[in-house]
Amino acid sequence: MRLLLVLLGGAIGAPLRYLTDRAVQARHDTVFPWGTFAANVTGSMILGALTGAALSGAASKDVQLFLGTGLCGALTTYSTFSYETLSLAAVGTRFLAFVNVAASVIAGLGAVFIGSAVAKAVFG
């Protein structure tokens, strides 16, 4: 049963990541990977909220597997982030590569913190 929850979450998260990337990137005429950035920060916020809910006892292990492992695991993508950062550096936009790393880490950690704080306030 738990494997099915992870599979279902992943089946939702993977196309959601793709659609998020395409929708966001279509609105920006730049080489900066805004779509991946948006998907990763969104996933970080969801995972932060899930963590806050779990710590408050409001999220069962099944919900954690479905949302955390499945959905967020497929929605967020470290490999694409790494590839896009390397690609930025390779084409001579090293500054944008640095910005991608710094902004992704700062925004991702900030999103986890905010999501967790909101969940703790709601379920706390």
pLDDT tens track for 58-116:
999 999 999 999 999 999 999 999 999 999 999 999 999 999 999 999 999 999 999 99
Cβ(41)–Cβ(109) under 8 Å?
Answer: no
Cβ(71)–Cβ(8) under 8 Å?
Answer: no
On the question of pLDDT at 124 being above 90, the answer is: no
Domain that holds residue 103: 2-123
Q: Give the count of domains, the chain.
A: 1
Angle between helices 78-90 and 34-55 (to 10 degrees): 150
Q: What's the pTM?
A: 0.94
- Phi and psi at 29, nearest 5°, equal -95, 70
Please indicate if the annotation marks 76 as binding a ligand: yes
Cβ(8)–Cβ(62) under 8 Å?
Answer: no
Q: How far apart are CA 89 and CA 107, in angstroms?
A: 21
Confidence of residue 39 (pLDDT cuts 50, 70, 90): very high
Question: For the chain, what is the largest distance between any 2 Cα atoms, rounded to a whole number of angstroms?
Answer: 48
